[in-house]
Structure 1
Amino acid sequence: MSDIDLNQSVLGWIMQNGIKTERGEKVEFKEHYFLLEPFANWHWKQATMKSAQIGWSTLAILKTFYGLAFRNLNCIYCLPTFDDVHDFVPSKVDNMITNNPVLAKLVHTSDAITKKQIGNNFIWYRGTHGKKAAIMHTSDLNIYDEYDASNIEVVDLYASRLQKSKYKGEWFFSNPIRPGGIDAKYEMSDKRHWMIKCSRCNHYQALDYWKNIDKDKMVYMCQHCKMELNEEDRRVGEWIAEYENREMHGYHINQLMAPWVTARELVYLEETKTPQYFYNMILGLPYIEKDETVDKELILQNIKTDKNNKLRNAMGVDVGYRELHYVVGNHAGIFETGTIKGEKIWKQLEQKIIKYNPITVIDANPDPYPRRKLVPKYRNQVFVCFYKHNSQRKELIEWGQDDKRGHVYVDRNQMISSIIYDFIDKKLPFTTDGRTPQVYLEQNLDEYCKHWQNIYKVTEEDRFGMLYSEWKHSGPDHFVHATAYFKMALSKVPKPEENEEKRVKGAAIYVTDDSIPADRIPILGKDHDLDDNEAWKYI
Structure 2
Amino acid sequence: MEAAELATYDEMMAVDAWYWATEIGLRLQSGPFTLAGHEYQIEPMQIDGRDRCAMKAAQMGWTEGQVIRNLHGMIYGRYPAGVLYLFPTADDVADFSKARFNPLIRDNPSIAAHVRSTDSAAIKRVGTGFLYLRGARITQTIQGVKKDSSKLRSIPVDCVVCDERDLMDDAAIEMATERMAHSYVQEYTDLSTPTIPDYGIAKRYDDSDQRVWMIRCRHCNHETCLETEFPDCLGIRADGSVFRKCSKCGKEIYPRDGRWVARQPGRDRIGHWISQLNSIYVDPGDILRAYEFPPNGNLQEVYNSKLGMPYIAAEDRLTIRDVLACCGNYPMYTRHTGPCAMGVDVGKVLHAVIGVRVSEDQYSIVRTERLSSFEDLHDLAARFNVTNAVIDALPEIHKVRDFRAAEPYEVFLCQYNEHQATGPKWNLDTGIVQANRTEVCDQTHALITTAGRCEIPRRCDEVDEYATEMCNIAKVLEEDQETGSRLYRYRKLGADHYRHATNYFLMAASRCNIAAGAGGRRFRPRQEYAENDFSL
Within the alignment, does 1:490 sit opposite 2:519 as a pair?
A: no
Give the residue type in structure 1 aligned to 2:460: Q
Contact 2:332/2:367, CA 8 A, preserved across alignment: no
- Please tell me the residue identity of whatever aligns with 2:301: Y
CA contact (8 A) 1:198 1:204 kept: yes
1:32-78 Cα shifts (integer Å, max 9, x gaps): 33223322333334332222221222222232222222133145547
SS across alignment from 2:491: strand
Question: What runs of 5+ residues in structure 2 fail to find an aligned partner?
Answer: 1-7, 139-145, 358-363, 527-536
Deviations 1:242-293 (A, max 9, x none): 4665554332101101111113321332222544433333212234565555
Aligned partner of 1:358: which letter? T
Aligned residue in 2 for 1:65? 71
Q: Kindly indicate whether residue 54 of structure 2 is the aligned counterpart of residue 48 of structure 1.
A: yes
> What is the CA distance between 1:120 and its match in structure 2?
3.3
Q: Give the aligned length.
A: 476
> Is contact 1:361–1:383 with CA below 8 Å preserved after alignment?
yes
Cα distance change on mapping 1:439 and 1:482 into 2, 3 Å: closer
Whole-angstrom distance in 2 between the partners of 1:472 and 1:262? 33
Q: Is contact 2:53–2:190 with CA below 8 Å preserved after alignment?
A: yes
1:129-528 equivalences under 5 Å are 139-148=157-166, 165-176=183-194, 177-179=196-198, 181-198=200-217, 204-207=223-226, 208-214=229-235, 217-223=240-246, 224-227=248-251, 233-242=254-263, 247-270=268-291, 271-272=293-294, 273-287=297-311, 293=317, 302=326, 304-305=330-331, 307=333, 309=336, 311-318=338-345, 326-331=352-357, 332-338=364-370, 356-362=385-391, 382=412, 384-388=414-418, 398-400=423-425, 410-424=435-449, 425=451, 427-431=453-457, 437-441=459-463, 445=465, 451-452=469-470, 454-458=472-476, 470-474=489-493, 477-496=496-515, 498=517
Distance 1:184 1:403, change over 3 A: closer
User: TM-score, length-normalised on structure 1?
Assistant: 0.68
- State the distance in 2 between where 1:152 and 1:227 align: 45
Aligned match of 1:525: none
User: 1:85, CA displacement in angstroms?
Assistant: 4.2
Residue 59 of structure 2 aligns to which amino acid in structure 1? Q
SS in 1 for 2:460: helix
CA distance in 1, matches of 2:122, 2:380: 45
Give the distance between the partners of 2:352 and 2:404, measured in 1 at CA.
16
Q: Residue 47 of structure 1 aligns to a residue in which SS?
A: strand
Distance verdict in 2 for CA 1:499–1:37, change over 3 Å: closer
Q: Does 1:121 align with 2:129?
A: yes
Residue-by-residue CA offset, 1:336-361 (whole Å, 9 max, x unaligned): 444677xxx8x998998888553344
Write the distance in 2 (CA, Å) between the matches of 1:334 and 1:39.
55
Equivalent of 1:96 in 96, 100, 104: 100
Please tell me the root mean square deviation across aligned C-alpha atoms, in Å.
5.0
Residues 44 and 169 in structure 1, CA contact (< 8 A), matched pair in contact too: yes
CA–CA distance in structure 2, aligned partners of residues 440 and 155 of structure 1: 32
Cα distance change of structure 1 residues 497 and 328 upon mapping to structure 2, 3 Å threshold: closer
Distance 1:154 1:378, change over 3 A: farther
Tell me by how many angstroms 1:225 deviates.
4.5
Aligned-partner SS, 2:52: strand
Shift of 1:368: 8.4
Q: 1:494 to 1:58 in 2, by over 3 A?
A: farther
The change in CA–CA distance for 1:210 and 1:416 in structure 2 (over 3 A counts) is same
Alignment map for 1:11-30 (pairs within 5 Å): 11-15=18-22, 19=26, 27-30=33-36
Q: Distance in 2 between matches of 1:401 and 1:309?
A: 27
- How many angstroms apart in 2 are the aligned matches of 1:169 and 1:85? 22
Going from structure 1 to structure 2, the CA distance change for 1:84 and 1:492 (only over 3 Å counts) comes to same
Aligned to 2:423, the other structure's residue is in SS state: strand
CA distance in 2, matches of 1:399, 1:245: 50
Change beyond 3 A, Cα 1:437–1:202? closer
Note the C-alpha offset of 1:13.
4.2
CA, structure 1 residues 380+195, in 2 after alignment: closer, same or farther (shift >3 Å)?
closer
Residue 189 of structure 2 aligns to a residue in which SS?
strand
Cα 1:300/1:135, change in 2 over 3 Å:
farther
Task: Give me the whole-angstrom Cα distance separating, in 1, the residues matched to 2:85 and 2:305.
Answer: 20
Unpaired stretches in structure 1, ≥5 consecutive residues = 505-539
CA distance in 2, matches of 1:368, 1:164: 35
Which residue identity lines up with residue 121 of structure 1 in the other structure? G
Could you tell me which residue of structure 1 aligns to residue 17 of structure 2? 10
Kept in 1: contact 2:343–2:501 (CA 8 A): yes
Cα distance change on mapping 1:111 and 1:400 into 2, 3 Å:
same
Q: Which amino acid is 1:388 matched to?
A: E
Normalization by structure 2: what TM-score? 0.68
* Conserved? CA contact 2:371–2:377, under 8 Å: no
- Identify the residue that residue 86 of structure 1 maps to in structure 2: 90
Q: Is the contact between residue 343 and residue 389 of structure 2 (CA under 8 Å) also seen in structure 1? A: yes
Deviations 1:278-315 (A, max 9, x none): 33332122345655555767655555416462523323
CA contact (8 A) 1:386 1:409 kept: yes
1:143 offset after TM fit, Å?
2.9
The 2-side partners of 1:367 and 1:192 are apart by 43
Give me the whole-angstrom Cα distance separating, in 2, the residues matched to 1:498 and 1:403: 30
Question: Distance between the aligned counterparts of 2:163 and 2:452, measured in 1?
Answer: 38
Go from structure 1 to structure 2 and tell me whether the alpha carbon gap of 1:237 and 1:494 turns closer, same or farther (over 3 Å shift): same
Q: CA 1:326 to 1:286, structure 2 compared with 1: closer, same or farther past 3 Å?
A: same
Q: Which residue of 2 aligns with 1:520?
A: none
Displacement of 1:121 after TM fit? 2.2
Determine the C-alpha separation between the residues in 1 that align with 2:349 and 2:471.
20
Separation in structure 2 between the aligned mates of residue 220 and residue 404 of structure 1, nearest angstrom: 68
Q: Give 2:242's aligned amino acid.
A: V
CA gap 1:378/1:438 in 2 versus in 1, 3 angstroms: closer
